[in-house]
A = this chain, B = another copy of it.
Amino acid sequence: MSEELNGNCLIAQSGGPTAVINSSLAGAITEALNHPCIEEIYGARNGVIGILQEDLVDLAEESQQVIRGLRTTPASALGTCRYKIRGQEDYDRILQVFESHNIRYFFYIGGNDSQDSADRINALAVERGYDLRVIGIPKTVDNDLVATDHCPGYGSAIKYLCTTVKEMACDAQSMGNHDYVGIIEVMGRNAGWMAAGTSLAKRKDRPEDPPHIILLPEVPLSPQKLMEDVQRILQKERFCLIVASEGLVDEDGNYLTTSGGATDAFGHAQLGGVGEYLRNLIEEQFGIRARAAKLGHAQRAAVHCSSETDNEEAFLAGQAAVKAAVDGETGKMVTLLRAEKETYECVTGLAPLTEVANGVKRLPADWINENGISMNHQFTKYAQPLIQGEISPEFENGLPNFVRIRGRRVEKNLEPYEID
């Protein structure tokens, strides 16, 4: 235990939201209240943009109802952004804002880009001799952060996807008089974690269950093999359900589709349209009736069908971040680790931000079956525990009742700061 550091804490959310990112926020706030060394509990509006613009809110003023409601409210209650920090000038400003508000604890809930930013903020504070503790809290439906067994947000996303696959499979099967191919396009830019997760929709020891074909970015698409797979399945089942990752690549390793070649602020290709691409391929070229669905952002927001396990672990990760910082840790990200037991048990750990920053955890190649379109028991063993348990928002008048933070603004001390 290092010496006690007194001061304020700041929590920010970054990147694309998940169904449980607010559960981590609730966990961090709840835990911060337990530690007298943490004086004020602030949140940054819209991630790093709120820090740069000194747009902070006082989270200790939120009601207990709101903190509880956050656990079943999707998306980032503080707001988020995809702003790419522009370099030294921005980092200097961040530290200036921290100093001005006596921020001594910084908790950043985000994916790998955010952990990279957190790492740089931490390094700068060390360099300048500013006493600051920085702890990252993982979140991403993509499940692609390294050092952690899995990421909060992933379990809920695949629980929703599996439920939808099961329902759409019932639908397609009941229309049983015609050959029909249903395609569900799912998120997953570089790793097929989301698409792979839908394999849990198969019943135990029923590899022939839908989804019949899982197309992963790890396996380049061969139209010829796809045609053979589809025809084999149609012969047996009369319908074929395909789950396709948005990040699908051709045999040269190029993305099958990009939406007008657009890229985001980090230079990532904005993908979309794989489902329609495959529909067209199957319908026009193979002559088989096909329909594509694209669940879009619903995949990362569907708290109405989220995993209790995921929700609890997200909360736990928020708590663990605060505990670690109070204990003197900095420059780390909370990790979720699997206890080596017969039954699943999750504990938290810490990994250096430098290790996490910009790393990408690949779907292990040996978890993909040789047929290239399904996952083996190692994947099932890994993913099954993550979707266990149901948690639902409170419903009012027939619809989920989501909370909004009141968000009393903290008074600004500095001159305004321009961003793009």
State whether A170 touches B292 (Cβ < 8 A).
Answer: no
- Residue in chain B with minimal CB distance to A275: B294
Copies in the complex: 2
Contacts of A259 in B (CB 8 A): 279, 283
State whether A174 touches B17 (Cβ < 8 A).
Answer: yes
Chain A 386-402 interface mask (CB, 8 Å, partner B; 1/0) = 01111010010111101
A166–B390 Cα distance when bound, in Å, is 19
* A210 → B minimal CB distance (Å): 12
Stretch in A4-12, A145-153, A296-304 touching the partner = A296-304
* A-B contact list, 7 entries, CB within 8 Å: A13-B174, A17-B171, A159-B399, A167-B303, A168-B298, A200-B398, A291-B297
Contacts of A170 in B (CB 8 A): 17, 73-75, 301, 402
Interface size class of A (residues with CB under 8 A): 35 or more
Contacts of A389 in B (CB 8 A): 398
| 8 A Cβ contacts from A70-90 to B | 73-83
User: Is A33 at the interface (CB under 8 A from chain B)?
Assistant: no
User: Is A173 at the interface (CB under 8 A from chain B)?
Assistant: yes
State whether B284 touches A293 (Cβ < 8 A).
Answer: no
State whether B302 touches A167 (Cβ < 8 A).
Answer: yes
Stretch in A175-183, A333-341, A351-359, A409-417 touching the partner = A175-183
* A405 → B minimal CB distance (Å): 11
User: Is A347 at the interface (CB under 8 A from chain B)?
Assistant: no
State whether B46 touches A166 (Cβ < 8 A).
Answer: no
User: Is A49 at the interface (CB under 8 A from chain B)?
Assistant: yes
State whether A171 touches B300 (Cβ < 8 A).
Answer: yes
State whether A171 touches B284 (Cβ < 8 A).
Answer: no
Contacts of A80 in B (CB 8 A): 174-176
User: Is A295 at the interface (CB under 8 A from chain B)?
Assistant: yes
User: Is A196 at the interface (CB under 8 A from chain B)?
Assistant: no
Contacts of A303 in B (CB 8 A): 167
User: Is A163 at the interface (CB under 8 A from chain B)?
Assistant: yes
User: Is A129 at the interface (CB under 8 A from chain B)?
Assistant: no
Partner of A398, one of B173, B184, B387: B387
Contacts of A384 in B (CB 8 A): 397-398
A389–B174 Cα distance when bound, in Å, is 27
Contacts of A167 in B (CB 8 A): 74-75, 298, 301-304, 400
